[in-house]
Amino acid sequence: MTRLTPQTTRLLLRQALIPLVMVGMMLGPLGALPAAPAMSNAEAAERIRQAGGSESEAERYRILAELQADPALSQELRSELERLLPLIDLWANGKRHVVEDHSRAAENGYLCRFIDSRVKPEGQGKLYPAAVSAESPLYPIWCLYRGRMLIWRVIQSGPLLRVAETRDAYYGEGRRLLEQARVAYPENRVIGMYLGEPIPWPKAYPPVEGLPKWANLQREGLEKLADLIHWWIDERQLPDGQFGGGWGDDVEMWRWWAPLIMGFDDPKIAAAQALLSNGIFQQPHMQSGFTARMTDVEHANEDTTDTITPMMHLAPDDPLWTGRARRLAELMAEVWTGTNAHGFRQFKSIYFNASEVADRPDRAFDTVYHPSAVQPALLLWQRTDEPWLDQLFGDWLRLWVDAVARSGNGKPAGVLPSAVRWPDGAIGLPDRPWWEPFPAGHNDALYNWPGATRLMTSALLLAYHKLGDEAYLQPMQSMVRIRLDSLRQADGNSSPEPGTEAWAARRMGGFLSDAVGKYRFLTGDDRYDDILEKDASGYARFRLFQDEAALLRALERNAAAFRSNWEAYTAEMRWTDRVLNFTGNYLRYFPNAPQSPNVGVLYAAATGDPGNPTEFPLNRVRWRTPPRAIAALVTAGDPHRFEAKLVHFGDQPRQMGAELFLLKPGRYRFVLLEEAGGAVLSESKLVVEGPSAEVSFDLPPKRVCLLRCVRMDAQLRDD
């Protein structure tokens, strides 16, 4: 190898530098290199206009990120984009910025963690996001994001939503900002949606001529609900099971999935729910079978109640989930409750975790919300015969029988209170109204009356069903009497004094009919039909009074809600516990607001349960088929028979089945026949021995069919 001497090296370097020196002499000093031409204001404004006009967050971010990277952009616009782009990136590309949330509520997922308490109306603090110049072409972009953030803060926050002045301040400024954005980007339909201009739903399921209206409406609702759930699974779910709202909100999604989880077989939905339910129990705070975070009963229960309960419907025989449900009953017995001054078992506080109860007198209450903390254990109690559960829940619910019967702190006797104080068993707080023990602007206002009263009335009905003791019916009976007396005597123009019996009676219709309807379906006792004629759901009225018009109204309302604003349920939705709430929490304050979804009618019609699917579910069937191109309407059901109408919207016969619940053991005759003409399509015998029994059959296309399963004898015997 040739070795270069120092002299040779210097010579070679001089030769190499000669061309560079010559180029430099021709061009002049380096600083004199011609600069890239500056971008005109018109060009920058046009690119920003394209971004604002796009209905895709990802596309908007791409355009603006490319603009920021363009060296010809003015320094002023570049600086403004440097402030705005991180927020736009989080809104558009949240999956790239997942952060673990270990707060007490864990409601700060990648979809919403940046829409926090910094977002306040003008004048209440520093503007967030930081403002850009009103003369800047980026100002309408800023309006677009800040306006929506103000609106979403209220859609999510109960304390902000409940106080009219606060709600109006957020919504008012948010709309004003979006009005300015719409002037700049009139083609962006999403902006118009926030201003009360609906966007047509992207996919239609038109009615099939010749099939009944109920079937067409229910099919439309089921298909669109399935479309929504599948979108969330495909677009939002992470490998660990999360959906982007934070664990504390993601787990609540099953509540609006219930019609399809409990009513049908959808493998994609079942797998997504299992991934979420198993995922939460892998979190460090769940290692004791309940949250280790000290928080209120609403937030404490969600990680368990909203993950165990759906799995007990999807996998009812899996000991993993029944064991996790039983663990909640153990914690109730050992940690959360004690014996109060009246000798009743009582929850000691609104705030607790897996190992202790908060020691704060202002939160030392049992409330009508507490059944949610043990909801899976109540379902286990409903399904099994375990004497210790009889004792545990029976003793606790007697507290509420007693609290209803007596007056106190101004509460009329016969009215279910919302909160019973520990340990003296008093109603509410002595220095506050019985119906409002907590300030309206605080999160704890959730536990004011009537609150979640339907949870407690359903739990009391379950106690009657399990224990056969009519004492547990007394709260329902006394409130039915009060409600009916009020309806008979009501003056539509009168305004009863808050807290009085008449005042309470006017507010009972929303929760009382749920328990009364379940009682009626469970026992056949028609003593309370007057209250059901007034307050019952459309499905219950159809079953009890042959009021098909009421059923059609409920199905039409739900279908109408899913005919516009798909974007509000999907890409625009920021909190996973509010997926169906855009209309109810926001658009309802516009004139001529669209309908809010009512997926409860889909659940009721498909399963035969007249009430909510959470506490004391009375679902009589699960259809072993996907919720596509089908309508199913349960028309009768008691311990000895089951009947339903079915319509298949496909073009070929459909192989499917039905898993039947709540039938007494015995021999049954199963028959499938056409409604028109009564031709028998399938017939067999069915033996019911346990909590459920399955039948299989082929459903013909585009015909209304009747399915009947009727008990043949009084007790089980061989042929």
Judge contact between 458 and 371, C-beta under 8 A.
yes
d(CA 245, CA 337): 32
d(CA 472, CA 102): 40
Kindly state whether residues 318 and 442 are assigned to the same domain.
yes
d(CA 662, CA 682): 23
Kindly state whether residues 317 and 445 are assigned to the same domain.
yes
Number of domains in the chain: 3
Judge contact between 276 and 250, C-beta under 8 A.
yes
Q: Identify the residue whose tokens are 């506080």.
A: 349
Check residues 268 and 496 and name the one with the higher pLDDT: 268
Query: Which is nearest to 709 in space by CA: 642, 661, 647, 662?
Result: 642
CA distances, 677 to each of 649, 680, 683 (Å)? 20, 9, 16
Judge contact between 268 and 233, C-beta under 8 A.
yes
pLDDT level of residue 70 (50, 70, 90 thresholds) = very high
Kindly state whether residues 298 and 447 are assigned to the same domain.
yes
Query: Which is nearest to 711 in space by CA: 701, 693, 356, 366?
Result: 693
List of residues 6+ apart from 560 with CB closer than 8 A: 594, 595
For residue 660, list its beta bridge partners: 621, 693
pLDDT level of residue 9 (50, 70, 90 thresholds) = very low
Give per-residue burial for 426-456: e unless 16+ CB within 10 Å, then b: bbbbeeeebbbbbeeeebbbbbbbbbbbbbb
- Helix (H, G, I), strand (E, B), or coil: what is residue 505? helix
pLDDT at res. 429: 87
pLDDT at 716 over 50: no
d(CA 532, CA 555): 19
Task: Dump the DSSP string for 688-712.
Answer: E-SSEEEEEEEEPBTSEEEEEEEE-
pLDDT at res. 493: 57
Kindly state whether residues 68 and 180 are assigned to the same domain.
yes
**Does any domain span residue 59?**
yes
**Does any domain span residue 452?**
yes
Q: Identify the residue whose tokens are 């949250």.
A: 291
pLDDT level of residue 38 (50, 70, 90 thresholds) = confident
d(CA 597, CA 580): 7
Kindly state whether residues 459 and 316 are assigned to the same domain.
yes
Read off the CATH number of the domain in which 654 is found: 2.60.40.1180
Measured from the Cβ of residue 54, the count of other Cβ atoms closer than 10 Å reads 18
Q: What is the DSSP letter of 332?
A: I
For residue 338, list its beta bridge partners: 346
Judge contact between 691 and 661, C-beta under 8 A.
yes
pLDDT tens, residue by residue, 378-421: 999 999 999 999 999 999 999 999 999 999 999 999 999 999 99
CA distances, 712 to each of 641, 693, 706 (Å)? 10, 15, 18
Q: Which of 130, 165, 194 is the last residue of a domain?
A: 194
pLDDT at 15 over 50: no
**Does any domain span residue 529?**
no
- Helix (H, G, I), strand (E, B), or coil: what is residue 577? coil
For the chain, give the mean pLDDT: 92
pLDDT at res. 201: 97
Measured from the Cβ of residue 235, the count of other Cβ atoms closer than 10 Å reads 12
* Structural domain for 468, as ranges: 292-475
Kindly state whether residues 302 and 161 are assigned to the same domain.
no
pLDDT at 26 over 70: no
Q: What is the mean pLDDT of residues 690-717?
A: 88
**Does any domain span residue 238?**
no
pLDDT tens, residue by residue, 422-438: 999 999 988 899 999 98
Highest mean pLDDT, choosing among 448-452, 604-608, 684-688? 604-608
Q: What is the DSSP letter of 701?
A: B
C-alpha atoms less than 13 angstroms from C-alpha of 421 in its C-beta half-sphere: 17
Q: Which of 435, 455, 475 is the last residue of a domain?
A: 475
- Helix (H, G, I), strand (E, B), or coil: what is residue 219? helix
pLDDT at 655 over 90: yes
Query: Which is nearest to 709 in space by CA: 690, 691, 679, 682?
Result: 682
pLDDT tens, residue by residue, 324-364: 999 999 999 999 999 999 999 999 999 999 999 999 998 99
- Taking the alpha carbons at both ends of the chain, their separation in whole angstroms is 103
Q: What is the mean pLDDT of residues 436-445?
A: 82
pLDDT at 447 over 70: yes
Kindly state whether residues 348 and 465 are assigned to the same domain.
yes
**Does any domain span residue 666?**
yes
Angle at which helix 213-235 crosses helix 267-280, to 10 degrees, equals 50
Q: Which of 136, 167, 194 is the last residue of a domain?
A: 194
**Does any domain span residue 264?**
no
Kindly state whether residues 190 and 296 are assigned to the same domain.
no
List of residues 6+ apart from 61 with CB closer than 8 A: 85, 88, 89, 91, 92, 93
Kindly state whether residues 331 and 466 are assigned to the same domain.
yes
Kindly state whether residues 326 and 435 are assigned to the same domain.
yes
pTM of the predicted structure, to 2 decimals: 0.91
**Does any domain span residue 151?**
yes
pLDDT tens, residue by residue, 473-492: 999 999 999 999 988 886 55
Kindly state whether residues 453 and 315 are assigned to the same domain.
yes
Kindly state whether residues 304 and 439 are assigned to the same domain.
yes
pLDDT tens, residue by residue, 289-325: 999 999 999 999 999 999 999 999 999 999 999 999 9
**Does any domain span residue 438?**
yes
pLDDT tens, residue by residue, 149-184: 999 999 999 889 988 999 999 999 999 999 999 999
pLDDT at 48 over 70: yes
